[in-house]
Amino acid sequence: MSFKTINNVKILGVAFALLMTGGINTAFAADEKPVHWLKRCVTDSKSIRTCLVTEAIILENKEKKIRIQLASIRIQTVSSSKSRTMFIQVPNRILLQPGLRFQVDQGKTRVAPFSICYEKACESEVDLSTDFINQLKKGNQVTLSFLQFDGKPVTIKVPLAGFTVGYNSKGVELTPEQAGLVVPAAKPAKDDTPKPLPE
């Protein structure tokens, strides 16, 4: 895998799970090869299976131990529904009103409003058609465009290499606990009440 290095900063595509929240859970260790468009799934108590196919662009400086997410795309499918939803995250401190523009290769440019901002990212949510999924499978990259808080335009390209394999795969099955959907039961607190001394 080749990386583009600029001033000792590597720009690499890294797959990771963003399950139901804005938190980041990287899908690889520091010495492992990243997996692109990783699919992770979780089945709830009603046998409904939710899957997320995820890819991200990460800025990494190993010397300074800094990792910054530039953008991420995750596509959610639910076994009980035919609908598919795409969530796109970009950095915060941006102008929200113009929305997020995204485009597959040289195809039609679409505009999506931002639905929520987390501490370090803002997110758009888009309902997907079968035609758009097919565009992603045939495409080379998704171009994301938005405006910084000072009005300067920003463009980020997310490669689609590996998307078809990831999307069509069975996926890695997670337990509800692993997916963060169930809070582990707290261990009973120790009884620190002083015991009476034996007579």
Binning pLDDT at 50, 70 and 90, where does residue 29 land?
Answer: very low
* Cα–Cα distance, 72 to 89 (Å, whole number): 5
pLDDT score at 65: 75
* Cα–Cα distance, 98 to 113 (Å, whole number): 8
The reported pTM is 0.74
Specify the length of the chain in residues. 199
DSSP 161: T
Please report, for the chain, how many H helices and E strands are present, in that order: 2, 15
DSSP 184: P
- What are 130-169's pLDDT values in tens digits? 999 999 999 999 999 999 999 999 999 999 999 999 999 9
Residue 131: helix, strand or coil by DSSP? helix
pLDDT at residue 75 is higher than 90: yes
Q: Domains plus CATH for the chain? A: 4-174 (2.60.40.1880)
Q: Which residues lie closer than 8 Å to 193 by C-beta, 6 or more apart?
A: none
Kindly state the percentage of the chain with pLDDT values over 70.
73
